[in-house]
């Protein structure tokens, strides 16, 4: 309890920061209203009641013996922070100038743009007038997003301007605010987020998360991001680290990004603190964003490897609903599956859309995490008009565990039985045609990248010279199952031996001719080695298959061989 | 915050219970000294300062509006608890009679014995005299353990009586205490512990944990228990559940057991509360023992499936040492690997042997968890005389991930290359000889049980009729890799086809003749599908192998084919 950390703000982010500090018995003094969430999980008496925007209160917090001062919200008084930091009274992390730059979204965007970080183009409105909006439209094109420069979050302070007809209503909506700017419209196909940790020496990143917003409020996060190649995931982390490297000071930063239709990335917004899109790290990673933030500001050791994902994770926000207790009902419903970890924030009255808590689920596979979270999403969406929020039962297919590759589409009919087995065992798969001989570079590209997707096992079918399984195995560290396909000429021993007789060093798991059934079952057993749900389904398949044979034996005993043979015609 | 839970005792167990309750914003009021660990992580003002043995203080706690009263320590005043429970003033869980029975270790043992639960025989000393010890020796044999019936923990209040010469010193040691009993000596080969959850309807159990004690204080726990078959692990859970079913009330119970040389099990001690051997559940399971305790006493839903292990886990206690800050030095050292989760208890002064905190590490495999925890164990053992505490580098082999089975030991030399690959890739394995034809029942037994061990993949080698891989696959849901061995007669196509041509429904991953190298590499790829550490080692192997071929190419270019051929002689 030697080092005391001061935190401006005691909401849920502050509370989770305190919980992380409690493990190490690091003392945190919180400045916020009495009984704010962060104070509820801390028993000592040296918190300060007051506003994190009030210079006097901030001074009072520092006077409690704080060594490092940090924030859980960026809308604080940076002038006093700068004074305190420059006078050496207290170490402020991240640095006050960083907080000030990020506070003003327009300045934030310019800061990034000037440093070559890809982000949406912005236009500053000198005055909140139709004329200025006209100019913004000329500079950025239409539609664009009209935004408040400060104090805007969860969609508040944003207004989409689709045409010149919207100019007046946009100004009416964001009315009183004189600090407005316009932002170029981003036609994104997905939103991604990366939590970045800036330590005294390094800029590190947590995995790439997919975020799903509804009414401009974060609803769900998926980590790893579904249906995103590793190349894009890496690019997102690089961009996020590059963006955070532009700022001074230490701590975690939430970087929200747009993934555009052409697979390019733009930074949307940066938060100089723990972030909603990083809640999943508490259960999903070996270290949470909160521990990482403490580690960064207190110079505790941290390496990139520490930020690894433990298991695929989904986070669902619990928002205030129509009724006062809508959110507690969701929390109670989550108790029917205790893999769902409920976090309630103790925030008192629930306004509609207010973040009252969240639920995280981790599982050995994204498919299982989705199966477990789906009832909660259904419950949240119960009274809502159906809309595509990227989450439906079909999404199970977005995180394939098995890739079925074939050299020619003519092999597909021979793989039908295997595909049926995978569906029966609820194993998501993806099918690809890549020929080792006719599309060697495509094959190399697919095979090289496959281990960086959610796929854990490859089934490759080929006939005749049958190079595909072995060539795939040469490019990937994943287990490859080879299915020899009987060619139109000959018995098929060519296919079998081409797949079987691999040189030492590059293994292929060979099954018998045309036996896609066994290839699929083998894939299921391989996945089941590490996933108890799949293993249980393999066991049930084995039991069913035993029962089927026993029944045939009983029938044979009862009716005799002659009658049985008649029935077989 | 509607239901308030009262807890007698605010030590580390109480603190971790409060942390679990904080997630759900369930209010817990603690009775213990001011600033006790549990109060440090809770911000509300309705805790009670005082002793959990003091009837008045307990009443005061109930008067804070407590609906359910529970304990984090069993040495409480049960008379007042019975009064409160029977008057209906408060629900006490587990029931006061259970706490009373367990408080007195002799009564606890008799209670279990009377209900047919295997536990060590005990003899009650009417008076603490040499004559009574003489009688105890006659009843139980020598050596035996002399124990205090109450208030004994972490080895205090126990004295080993090895011969009649020890009678006097035993009485001197446990001197003042008149409530003594003698317990039969248990020649155990291991200590196991199971956390049991008694809900209103069910008796559920967490996984079986291996506990390692030093100076009678718990030092380390390993979950799952290493080198323990699934049959024994299941027996341990059954015995633990049976023992707890003998007691009234709801909550978690820690059951410590001895595993004797003949593989039978005895209950050693029961704790009617969360337990040191269950700390690992915080990170290691999908739900912690603390959440489980709250769920049981508050009738929140809980199923056996919820108590599953997430990842193998090791817990190391941080004890007070010779210096005042010995324990903080250990905690600081743990920061060099952030997969190690440090829990400090905020207990103030460190007495030697006092539990000041603990460290838990989880990893995809027990081998990796051991690799990561080893530096901490080495640090703790630094100044101690070397002793076998069951933890050494050799233990890596105790949790095999691959089983290599062969029909005859004559196949072993052909598997040498494969074994070397597994060692090189740091994959622990076990080797067995079981013949499908000469030991059909042994083969069936081994194959049926193998999925219930830590093994995740089987390599089966066979020649000629070569039934072993297919028969193994018929008995287990694990992936089986078949290695055809070339027999002394013929080319070996018989071995290949026997293994390859499996009927639909039972897959075997076949590799080429005698190619144990590829079988091992395939096993590594299969494990690597779910274990990033192993996958990284597979990738490194592929890179090394590429480098080796590239170097040969360079050499060939440099010296030409003729010289190269000379070098090959």
CATH assignment of the domain containing B240: 3.30.470.20
> Do residue B287 and residue A530 have CB atoms under 8 angstroms apart?
no
Residue A431 CB burial class (10 angstroms; 0-12, 13-18, ≥19): middle
Q: Which SS3 state, helix, strand or coil, does residue A145 take?
A: strand
- CA pair distance B529, A227, nearest whole angstrom: 18
Compare CB distances from A338 to B25, B306, B535 and report the shortest one's residue.
B306
> Which of A151, A184, A217 marks a domain boundary?
A184
Cβ within 8 Å, pair B40-A35: no
Secondary structure element (H or E) that encloses residue A108, with its range? helix A105-114
Closest residue of B to A537, CA-based?
B477
Whether B477 sits inside 8 A of A542 (CB atoms) is: yes
Residue percentage of chain B with pLDDT more than 70: 96
Q: Which chain B residues contact residue A479 at CB under 8 A?
A: 522, 525-526, 528-529
Q: Are residues B223 and B291 in the same domain?
A: yes
For residue B12, the enclosing domain spans 4-92
Which of B111, B119, B120, B112 lies closest to B146, judged by CA?
A: B120
pLDDT of residue A502: 95
Residues A343-377: tens digit of each pLDDT: 999 998 889 999 999 999 999 878 789 889 999 99
Full DSSP string of B289-315: HHHHHHHHHTT----GGGG-BSS-EEE
pLDDT greater than 50 at residue B390: no
Q: Rounded to a whole number, what is the distance in Å from the CA of A119 to chain B's nearest CA? A: 33
Residue A24 has pLDDT above 60, yes or no: yes
- Does residue B103 fall inside a structural domain? no
Chain A hits for B350, Cβ within 8 Å? none
pLDDT at B155 over 90: no
CA distance B286 to chain A (A): 5
Instruction: Give the DSSP letter of residue A155.
Output: T
CB spacing of A335 vs B300 below 8 angstroms: yes
pLDDT band at A385 (very low <50, low <70, confident <90, very high): low
A460: left (phi over 0), alpha (psi -120 to 50) or beta: beta
Q: How many C-beta atoms lie closer than 10 Å to residue A79's C-beta? A: 11
**CB-CB under 8 Å, B336 with A301:** yes
Q: Domain count of chain A?
A: 5
How far apart are alpha carbons B149 and B130 in whole angstroms?
18
Minimum-distance CB partner of A44 among B24, B40, B512: B40
What predicted TM-score, i.e. pTM, was given to this entire model?
Answer: 0.83
- Residue B387 within a domain: yes
Which H or E run includes B554?
helix B532-568
Question: What are residue A192's DSSP bridge partners?
Answer: A210, A257
For residue B517, pLDDT beyond 80: yes
Classify A465 as helix, strand or coil.
coil
Indicate the Cα dihedral angle B281, B285, B290, B291, nearest 10°: 170
Residue A300, min C-alpha distance to chain B (Å): 7
Between A279 and A152, name the one with better pLDDT.
A279
Contact partners, residue B138, CB within 8 Å, separation at least 6: none
Residue B286: helix, strand or coil by DSSP? coil
Nearest chain A CA: its distance from B216 CA (Å): 26
Looking at the structure, do residues B178 and B300 belong to the same domain, yes or no?
no
Within 8 A by CB and 6+ apart from A445, the residues are none
Which pLDDT value is given to residue A395?
A: 40
ipTM: 0.82
| Same domain membership, residue B380 and residue B247 | yes
Q: Are residues B367 and B410 in the same domain?
A: no
| Residues B375 and B434 occupy one common structural domain | no
Report how far Cα A115 is from the mean position of its chain's Cα atoms: 27
What residue in B sits closest to A283 (Cα-Cα)? B283
Using alpha carbons, list the distances in angstroms from residue B404 to A363, A508, B397.
29, 18, 13
Give the closest-approach CA distance of A389 to chain B in angstroms: 28
CA pair distance A87, B97, nearest whole angstrom: 63
Q: Is A348 left (phi over 0), alpha (psi -120 to 50) or beta?
A: left
Q: Which residues of chain B does A331 touch, with a Cβ-Cβ cutoff of 8 Å?
A: 24
HSE toward the beta carbon, residue A493, CA cutoff 13 A: 5
pLDDT, tens digit, 9 for 90 and up, residues B278-326: 999 999 999 999 999 999 999 999 999 999 999 999 999 999 998 889 9
Which residues of A are less than 8 Å from B331 in CB distance?
24
Q: Does A337 share its domain with A419?
A: no
pLDDT tier at A93 (50, 70, 90 boundaries)? very high
CATH number at residue B68: 3.40.50.20
Domain membership of residue B37 (yes or no) is yes
- SS percent in chain A: helix, strand, coil, step 5: 40, 25, 35
Q: Do A531 and B531 touch (CB under 8 A)?
A: no
pLDDT > 50? residue A392: no
Mean pLDDT across chain B: 92
Cross-chain residue pair A338–B303, CB shorter than 8 Å: yes
B390 plus B412 within the same structural domain: no
Structural domain includes residue A541: yes
Cross-chain CB nearest to A526 (options B42, B479, B521): B479
Q: Does one domain contain both A267 and A376?
A: yes
CA angle, corner B29, sides to B27 and B30, nearest 5?
140
Give B78-125 pLDDT, tens digit per residue: 999 999 999 999 999 999 999 999 999 999 999 999 999 999 899 999
Using 50, 70 and 90 to split pLDDT, how confident is the model at B444? very high
Closest CB to A24 among B342, B481, B531: B342
Q: The domain that contains A451 carries what CATH number?
A: 3.40.50.1970
No. of helices (H) and no. of strands (E), chain A? 19, 22
- For residue A398, pLDDT over 70 is answered with no
Is B309 within the bounds of a domain? yes
Residue B398 has pLDDT above 90, yes or no: no
Question: Strands A355-362 and A341-344, how do they pair?
Answer: antiparallel
B175 and B271 in a single domain? The answer is no
Quote the pLDDT of residue A536: 85
Confidence of residue A155 (pLDDT cuts 50, 70, 90): low
The closest alpha carbon to B367, from B432, B456, B431, B433, belongs to: B456
On whether residue A438 sits in a domain, the answer given is yes
> Most distant CA pair in chain A: distance in Å?
101
Tell me, yes or no, whether B84 and B143 share the same domain: no
Residue A557 lies in a domain: yes
Question: For residue B513, what is the nearest residue in chain A, using CA coordinates?
Answer: A501
**How many cross-chain Cβ pairs, A to B, lie less than 8 Å apart?**
216
The reported pLDDT for the residue numbered B392 is 40
Listed residues A392, A424, A445: the one ending a domain: A392
| Beta-bridge mates of residue B549 | none
Does residue A115 belong to any structural domain of this protein? Answer: no
Cα of A259 to nearest chain B Cα, Å: 27
Would you place residue B532 in the very low, low, confident or very high pLDDT band (cuts 50, 70, 90)?
confident
Q: Looking at A92, A111, A139, which one is the last position of a domain? A: A92
Q: How far is the C-alpha of B341 from the C-alpha of A286, rounded, in Å?
A: 8
pLDDT value at position B310?
92
pLDDT in tens, A495-522: 999 999 999 999 999 999 999 999 999 9
Asked if B500 lies within 8 A of A510 by C-beta distance, the reply is: yes
Q: Do A40 and B22 touch (CB under 8 A)?
A: yes
Nearest to B517 among A23, A481, A504 (CB): A504
- What does the pLDDT read at residue B386? 57
H or E segment at A250? none
Nearest CA-CA distance, residue A258 and chain B, Å: 28
Give yes or no for a contact between B24 and B31, defined as CB atoms under 8 angstroms apart: no
Q: What residues does A212 pair with on adjacent strands?
A: A220
Residue B333 burial (CB < 10 Å; 0-12/13-18/19+)? middle
pLDDT confidence band for B229 (50 / 70 / 90): confident
Contact B511 A506 (CB under 8 A): no
Report which of residues A558 and A177 the model is more confident about.
Answer: A558
**pLDDT of the residue at B481:** 98
Neighbouring residues of A351: CB distance < 8 A, sequence distance ≥ 6: A320
Within 8 A of A502 by CB-CB distance, chain B residues are 511-512, 515, 518
Q: What would the mean pLDDT of A164-185 be, rounded to a whole number?
A: 86
Do B454 and B375 share a structural domain? no
Same domain, A366 and A475: no
The pLDDT confidence band at residue B389, using thresholds 50, 70 and 90, is very low
| DSSP SS3 for A196 | strand
Helix axis angle for A12-24 and A289-297, nearest 10°, is 70
């Amino acid at each position: 309890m030697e080092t005391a950390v001061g935190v401006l703000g005691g909401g849920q982010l502050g509370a989770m920061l305190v919980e992380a500090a409690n493990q190490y018995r690091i003392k945190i003094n919180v400045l916020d209203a009495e009984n704010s969430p962060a104070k509820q999980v801390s028993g000592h008496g040296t918190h300060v009641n007051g506003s994190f925007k009030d210079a006097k209160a901030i001074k009072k917090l520092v006077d409690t013996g704080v060594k490092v001062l940090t924030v859980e919200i960026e809308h604080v008084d940076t002038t006093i922070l700068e004074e305190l930091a420059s006078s050496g009274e207290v170490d402020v992390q991240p640095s006050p100038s960083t907080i000030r730059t990020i506070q003003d979204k327009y300045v934030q965007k310019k800061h990034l743009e000037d440093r070559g970080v890809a982000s949406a183009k912005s236009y500053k409105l000198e005055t909140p007038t139709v004329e200025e909006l006209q100019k913004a439209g000329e500079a950025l094109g239409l539609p664009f997003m009209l935004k408040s420069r400060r104090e805007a979050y969860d969609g508040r302070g944003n207004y989409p301007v689709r045409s010149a007809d919207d100019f007046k209503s946009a100004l009416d909506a964001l009315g009183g605010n004189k600090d407005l700017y316009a932002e170029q419209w981003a036609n994104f196909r997905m939103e991604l987020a990366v939590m970045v940790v800036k330590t005294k020496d390094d800029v590190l990143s947590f995995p790439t998360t997919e975020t799903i917003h509804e009414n401009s409020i974060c609803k769900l996060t998926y980590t790893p991001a579904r249906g995103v190649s590793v190349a894009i995931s890496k690019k997102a982390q690089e961009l996020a680290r590059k963006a955070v490297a532009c700022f001074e000071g230490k701590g975690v930063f939430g970087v929200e990004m747009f993934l555009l239709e052409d697979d390019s990335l733009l930074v949307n917004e940066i938060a100089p603190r723990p972030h909603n899109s990083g809640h999943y790290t508490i259960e999903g990673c070996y270290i949470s964003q909160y521990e990482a933030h403490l580690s960064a500001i207190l110079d505790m050791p941290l390496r990139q490897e520490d930020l690894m994902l433990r298991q695929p994770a989904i986070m669902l926000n619990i928002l205030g609903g129509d009724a006062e207790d809508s959110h507690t009902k969701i929390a109670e419903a989550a108790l029917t599956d205790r893999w769902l970890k409920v976090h309630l924030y103790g925030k008192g009255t629930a306004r509609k859309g207010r973040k009252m808590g969240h639920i995280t689920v981790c599982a050995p596979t994204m498919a299982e995490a989705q199966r477990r979270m789906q009832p909660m999403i259904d419950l949240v969406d119960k009274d809502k008009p159906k809309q595509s929020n990227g989450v439906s039962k079909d999404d199970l297919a977005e995180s394939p565990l098995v890739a079925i590759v074939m050299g020619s589409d003519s092999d597909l009919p021979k793989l039908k039985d295997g595909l049926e087995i995978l569906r029966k065992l609820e194993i998501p798969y993806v099918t690809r045609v890549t020929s080792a001989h006719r599309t060697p570079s495509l094959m190399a590209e697919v095979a090289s990248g496959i281990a960086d997707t959610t796929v854990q096992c490859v089934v490759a079918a080929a006939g005749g010279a049958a190079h595909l399984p072995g060539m795939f195995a040469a490019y990937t560290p994943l287990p490859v199952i080879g299915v020899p396909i009987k060619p139109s000429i000959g018995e098929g021993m060519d296919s079998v031996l081409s797949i079987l007789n691999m040189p030492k060093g590059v293994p292929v798991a060979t099954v018998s001719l045309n036996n896609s059934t066994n290839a699929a079952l083998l894939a299921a057993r391989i996945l089941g080695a590490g996933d108890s749900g799949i293993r249980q389904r393999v066991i049930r398949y084995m039991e069913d298959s035993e029962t089927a044979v026993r029944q045939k034996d009983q029938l044979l005993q009862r009716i005799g061989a002659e009658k049985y043979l008649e029935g077989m015609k």
